[in-house]
Amino acid sequence: MLSRKMMKKKYSDEDILRFLYDEMEGDERESFMDHLCTDEELWERYEEFSDVVQRLAELRIEPSELSVEKVLAFAKTYDPAVQPLAEASVRRFPFRIHLNTVLLLMGILMVSAAVSGVRKHDKAPVLQEQMVKSEPPAEMIRWDDSDLEAKLQDVRNGIEEIQNNPTL
Amino acid sequence: MKKTQDKDLIKGFMAGHEQCFEELLRRYKAKIFTTIYLIVKDRDLTEDLFQDVMMKVVRMIRGGSYNEEGKFLPWVIRIARNLAIDHFRKAQRNPVQRETEDYDVFHSLGRAENSSEDNVIMDENTRYIKRLIQLLPEKQREVLVMRSYADLSFKEIAAITNVSINTALGRMRYALLNLKKLAQDHAIPQDDEEKVFG
Q: Residue B159 sits in a domain of what CATH number?
A: 1.10.10.10
Q: What is the pLDDT of residues B99-145, one digit of tens each?
A: 333 333 444 333 344 444 444 445 677 788 888 898 999 999 999 99
Per-residue confidence (pLDDT) for residue B52, from 0 to 100: 95
A128 Cα to chain B: minimum distance (Å) = 58
Pairwise CB contact (< 8 Å): B170 & A23: no
- pLDDT at residue A141, as a whole number: 54
In a domain, B109, yes or no: no
* pLDDT number for residue A115: 81
- Whether the per-residue pLDDT at B69 is higher than 80: the answer is no
Count structural domains, chain B. 2
Residue A72, pLDDT > 70, answer yes
Mean pLDDT is lowest, of A55-59, A102-106, A117-121, B16-20, for A117-121
Say which CATH number the domain at B21 has: 1.10.1740.10
Q: What single-letter DSSP state applies at residue A79?
A: B
Which whole number is the average pLDDT over B168-179? 95
Most trustworthy range by pLDDT among A56-65, B73-82, B170-179: B170-179
Whether the Cβ atoms of residue B50 and residue B36 lie closer than 8 Å to each other: yes
pLDDT at A164 over 90: no
Q: Taking all residues of chain B, what is their mean pLDDT, rounded to a whole number?
A: 79
Domain range for B156: 122-198
Q: Between B59, B130, B169, which is nearest A59 by CB? A: B130
B149 at A interface, C-beta within 8 A: yes
Comparison of pLDDT for A37 and B98, the residue scoring more: A37
Rounded Cα distance between B45 and B51, Å, is: 10
Q: How far apart are CA A52 and CA A36, in angstroms?
A: 18
Do the chains contact at B55 and A53, CB–CB below 8 Å? no
In a domain, B115, yes or no: no
pTM: 0.61
Contact A44, A78 (CB under 8 A): no
Does B39 reside within a domain? yes
The angle that helices B6-14 and B18-40 make with each other, rounded to 10 degrees, is: 120
> Which of A14, A53, A60 is nearest residue B30 as measured by Cβ atoms?
A60
pLDDT of residue B95 exceeding 50, the answer is no
B167 — contact with chain A (CB < 8 Å)? no
B89 and B153: one domain?
no
Does residue B162 sit within a domain?
A: yes
Q: Which of A14, A61, A75 faces B37 most closely, judged by CB atoms?
A: A61
Whether B90 and B149 map to the same domain: the answer is no
Task: Give the three-class secondary structure for B25.
Answer: helix
Which residues does chain A have within 8 Å of residue B166's beta carbon, measured at their own beta carbons? 14
The structural domains of chain A, with segments of one domain joined by +, span 13-56, 92-133
pLDDT above 70: residue B196: no
- Statement: residue A154 has pLDDT above 70: yes
> Chain A interface, mutation test: which of B176, B178, B179, most A Cβ atoms within 10 Å?
B176
A17/B153 Cβ within 8 A: no
Q: Report the pLDDT value the prediction gives residue A144, as an integer from 0 to 100.
A: 60
Tell me how far CA of residue B65 lies from CA of A92, B60, B101, in angstroms.
21, 5, 29
pLDDT single digits (tens) A108-148:
888 888 887 766 666 666 666 666 666 655 655 555 666 77
pLDDT of residue B190: 41
d(CA A100, CA A95): 9
Which residue has better confidence, A12 or A152? A12
Choice between B60 and A4, residue whose per-residue pLDDT is larger:
B60
